Amino acid sequence: MKVEGGLAPLDMSVLAADGLVLKGTLAYPARASAPFPLAVLAHQYPATRDTFAPLIADLHAMGVATLAFDERGHGASIAGPAGPRVVATPVGFDGAAFGTAFMASAGALEFHRIADDIVRVASWGAVQNFVDPARLALVGASVGGSGAILAAPSVPTLSALVTVGAAGAPAFGGDGPARCRAALEQIDVPAYLASSEDDPFDGRRNVTGWAAGLGHVTTRLVPGAAHAMAIYFDVRDELVAFLRARLAHH
């Protein structure tokens, strides 16, 4: 079905396992053919869904719908059964302040639930009108990247997995990094893992260690120390081509 005028975005509300309400936006590309493939986007700490704006524009241009959501404690995803729950933000301008705030947030907001949150959000998106549930991608940045990897085995219609600066795996438990590797071993869909070479949050080590020896995982390291979506324009052409190849009609 050809969609000429474009479809209005849908506001998402999804209940997490602990009762926190996850908010997001499902946006369709204009003047493209439905049903659309769908990319579910999980952002980095302490950002919001809006950090994916450049990628969203590129995905819409190639006919892919997007479901960007605010992770727990971020943006609009702060309503819980006991009242608002908001991430701690760094008080200071150095790495130590950032690390302290991240770990405080990981505990208080239960970041170990992010992988399950992603599965719930993807499930909601897959059943919406005009979405093709057989062409689904997970895209994650930083802690959202680790969450996307851990969510991947629970998404049976997954066509592609992408991370930029996947990090924060210990927030999912002491075995978080090992579980990320195990999740990539478990899936057989193509994955694309990117990081800067000097990523301050173990991005390089994650990319190289988690992907080692796995033929279905493509890796990309770019110069510098930029983190997560800050490297998007360094990997843009390759990342977009990867998703286009995986989400095209087949």
Range of the domain at 19: 2-247
Q: Is the pLDDT of residue 250 over 80?
A: no
Q: What is the pLDDT of residue 31?
A: 76
So what's the pLDDT on residue 6?
79
pTM flag (> 0.95): yes
> Based on the structure, what is the number of domains in the chain?
1
Decide if 142 contacts 226 (C-beta within 8 A).
no
pLDDT tens digit sequence for 65-123: 999 999 999 999 999 999 999 999 999 999 999 999 999 999 999 999 999 999 999 99
Give the CATH number of the domain where residue 129 resides: 3.40.50.1820
HEC string of the chain equals CEECCCCCCEEEEEECCCCCEEEEEEECCCCEECCEEEEEEECCCCCCHHHHHHHHHHHHHCCCEEEEECCCCCCCCCEECCEECCCCCCCCCCHHHHHHHHHHHHHHCCHHHHHHHHHHHHHHHHCCCCEEEEEEEEEEECHHHHHHHHHHHHCCCEEEEEEECCCCHHHHCCCHHHHHHHHHHHCCCCEEEEEECCCCCCHHHHHHHHHCCCCCEEEEEECCCCCHHHHHHHHHHHHHHHHHHHHCCC
Give the pLDDT confidence of 13-64 residue by residue, as tens digits: 999 999 999 999 999 999 778 899 999 999 999 999 999 999 999 999 999 9
Q: Do the beta carbons of residue 43 and residue 52 sit within 8 Å?
A: yes
Distance CA 168, CA 183 (A): 16
- Per residue in 140-160, pLDDT (tens digit) is 999 999 999 999 999 999 999
